[in-house]
């Protein structure tokens, strides 16, 4: 497992600290023709090689030609993932997918090196298919789009009123993404027993979102946000409570 940590650490350093902004811009502008893409791949190969050499020197893994194979798997896998990523818009979702793909390649290379691939495969499936983990996964999924749709239906009248006053532009989509994060945080706090975090979350949101109520259109906006927060919070607490009950 220590070898895996070394490899992930090497990935973080190479991907976020040893990649100049100019390389990212060059890849976006020129695609596969950008030399920066190949330099970035070589940096990852070098970082992985250094990590494996340190791990081998510390006796955490044996010196062998398999180490070269791991470096090739990680570097070529990184090149392929980055080449595919350039076809998509740069946003938070695609960044998370990109990093998850890199971690999967690293874990696969580590499992091949240590001979644990069959066990990792079986353990991963077994872990994901456990009843409690499926319930928790279902809870996180429910708190995303399903609750967002439910909240939008509850707020439909208020949203129409805001649209008439030209206040709905960008508000609904931003509120949807904020709601996702808010509800996921609430579920995480409940599952870990950190209920004080829920209080801090609501307090912070109240400070940043509830403004001056001196004018009628501002009252409509505040009422919309307040009602949305209450519906989102109640839904998150209800699903989190049910999740704890079913997994307890």
Question: Each residue of 82-132: pLDDT tens digit?
Answer: 999 888 877 778 888 999 999 999 999 998 888 775 555 555 556 566 778
Please state, in angstroms and as integers, the Cα–Cα distance from residue 155 to each residue in 101, 171, 220, 226, following that order: 37, 13, 12, 11
pLDDT digits (tens, 9 = 90+) for 178-221: 889 999 999 999 999 998 999 888 888 777 665 544 454 566 67
pLDDT score, position 167 = 52
Angle, helices 92-114/66-85, rounded to nearest 10 degrees = 160
Q: With contact defined as beta carbons under 8 Å apart, do 168 and 159 qualify?
A: yes
HSE toward the beta carbon, residue 160, CA cutoff 13 A: 4
Please state, in angstroms and as integers, the Cα–Cα distance from residue 20 to each residue in 98, 116, 126, following that order: 18, 35, 40
For residues 43 and 39, give the distance between their C-alpha atoms in angstroms, rounded to a whole number: 6
Show the DSSP H helices in 129-170 as ranges: 131-142, 145-154, 156-164
pLDDT score, position 126 = 62
Q: With contact defined as beta carbons under 8 Å apart, do 235 and 190 qualify?
A: no
For range 220-233, the mean pLDDT: 80
Tell whether the model's pLDDT for residue 75 goes beyond 80.
yes
Domain boundaries, the chain: 2-118, 131-247
pLDDT score, position 133 = 82
pLDDT score, position 71 = 96
Structure pTM? 0.67
For residues 42 and 217, give the distance between their C-alpha atoms in angstroms, rounded to a whole number: 56
pLDDT score, position 156 = 80
Termini Cα distance of the chain: 30
Q: Who contacts 233 (Cβ-Cβ below 8 Å, separation ≥6)?
A: 182, 186, 202
For residues 18 and 178, give the distance between their C-alpha atoms in angstroms, rounded to a whole number: 32
Structural tokens at position 156 = 């439909």
Q: With contact defined as beta carbons under 8 Å apart, do 108 and 117 qualify?
A: yes
For residues 108 and 71, give the distance between their C-alpha atoms in angstroms, rounded to a whole number: 12
pLDDT score, position 212 = 47
| Banded pLDDT at 28 (limits 50, 70, 90) | confident
pLDDT digits (tens, 9 = 90+) for 39-72: 999 999 999 999 999 999 999 888 988 999 999 9
pLDDT digits (tens, 9 = 90+) for 141-179: 999 989 988 888 888 877 777 666 655 555 566 778 888
pLDDT score, position 111 = 87
């Amino acid at each position: 497992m220590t070898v895996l940590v070394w490899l992930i650490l090497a990935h973080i350093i190479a991907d976020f600290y040893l990649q100049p902004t100019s390389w990212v811009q060059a890849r976006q502008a020129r695609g596969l023709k950008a030399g920066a893409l190949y330099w970035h791949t070589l940096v990852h190969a070098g970082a992985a090689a250094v990590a494996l050499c340190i791990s081998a020197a510390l006796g955490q893994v044996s010196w062998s030609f398999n180490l070269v194979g791991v470096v090739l798997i990680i570097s070529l896998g990184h090149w392929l993932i980055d080449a595919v990523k350039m076809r998509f818009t740069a946003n938070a979702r695609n960044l998370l997918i990109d990093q998850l793909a890199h971690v999967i390649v690293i874990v696969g290379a580590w499992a091949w090196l240590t001979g644990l691939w069959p066990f990792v495969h079986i353990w991963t499936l077994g872990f994901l298919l456990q009843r409690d983990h499926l319930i928790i996964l279902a809870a996180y999924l429910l708190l995303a789009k399903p609750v967002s749709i439910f909240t939008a239906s509850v707020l439909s009248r208020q949203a129409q009123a805001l649209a008439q006053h030209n206040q709905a532009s960008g508000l609904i989509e931003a509120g949807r993404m904020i709601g996702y994060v808010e509800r996921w945080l609430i579920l995480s706090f409940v599952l870990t027993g950190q209920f004080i975090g829920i209080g801090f979350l609501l307090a912070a949101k109240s400070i940043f979102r509830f403004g001056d109520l001196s004018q009628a259109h501002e009252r409509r906006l505040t009422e919309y946000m307040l009602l949305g927060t209450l519906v989102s919070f109640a839904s998150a607490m209800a699903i989190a409570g049910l999740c704890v009950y079913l997994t307890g």
